[in-house]
């Protein structure tokens, strides 16, 4: 499974804000964009969604910027991915949504796969719910003297 760029960029923006969490230093949108190599227009929409979800706080003006609304340890990977991927199931087949899958030999009423996909979906969310933004920060802080800017989730 590959998550969307929105989810990836949201996680990277939260990581950037987490690196300054203890200092309570506000970080500007431009700085987040530059340090995490996130397109500025895309980042603006992501920051609005993160603010609306209560994950970050924003302030305007000359000393404005963004702060985490809660500890990086209290922001689960699951919470961020659900915010940007939607509340729908990550793993499902068309039969699960009452439609016929293209090229599937099973009729939607007799499809054997929805229950299996439900189990996989529950296991996926259970697994990513164990990880927080702090886990990413810990990896960065444990890397001695090397840049941590090119990574894939």
Average pLDDT of the chain, as a whole number:
84
* Model pLDDT for residues 95-120, shown as the tens digit of each residue: 555 566 666 776 666 677 777 878 88
* Model pLDDT for residues 49-58, shown as the tens digit of each residue: 999 999 999 9
Sorting pLDDT into bands at 50, 70 and 90, what band is 30?
very high
Sorting pLDDT into bands at 50, 70 and 90, what band is 25?
confident
Strand partners, 56: 68
Domain ranges of the chain: 1-74+132-147, 76-131
Sorting pLDDT into bands at 50, 70 and 90, what band is 63?
confident
Q: Which CATH number fits domain 1-74+132-147: 2.40.128.720, 3.40.50.880, 1.10.10.10, 1.10.3720.10?
A: 1.10.10.10
CB burial of 96-123 (b: ≥16 within 10 Å; e: otherwise) equals beeeebeeeeeebeebebbeebeebbee
């Amino acid at each position: 499974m590959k998550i969307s760029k929105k989810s990836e960029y949201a996680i990277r923006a939260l990581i950037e804000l987490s690196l300054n969490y203890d200092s309570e230093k506000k970080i500007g949108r431009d700085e987040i964009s530059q340090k995490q190599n996130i397109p500025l227009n895309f980042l603006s929409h992501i920051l609005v969604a993160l603010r609306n979800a209560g994950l970050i706080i924003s302030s305007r003006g000359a000393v404005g910027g963004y702060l985490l609304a809660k500890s990086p340890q209290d922001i689960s990977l699951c919470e961020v991915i659900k915010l940007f991927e939607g509340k729908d199931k990550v793993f499902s087949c068309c039969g699960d949504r009452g439609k016929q899958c293209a090229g599937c030999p099973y009729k939607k009423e007799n499809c054997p796969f929805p229950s299996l996909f439900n189990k996989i979906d529950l296991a996926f969310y259970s697994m990513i719910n164990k990880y927080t933004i702090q886990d990413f920060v810990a990896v960065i802080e444990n890397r001695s003297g090397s840049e941590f800017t090119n990574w894939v989730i």
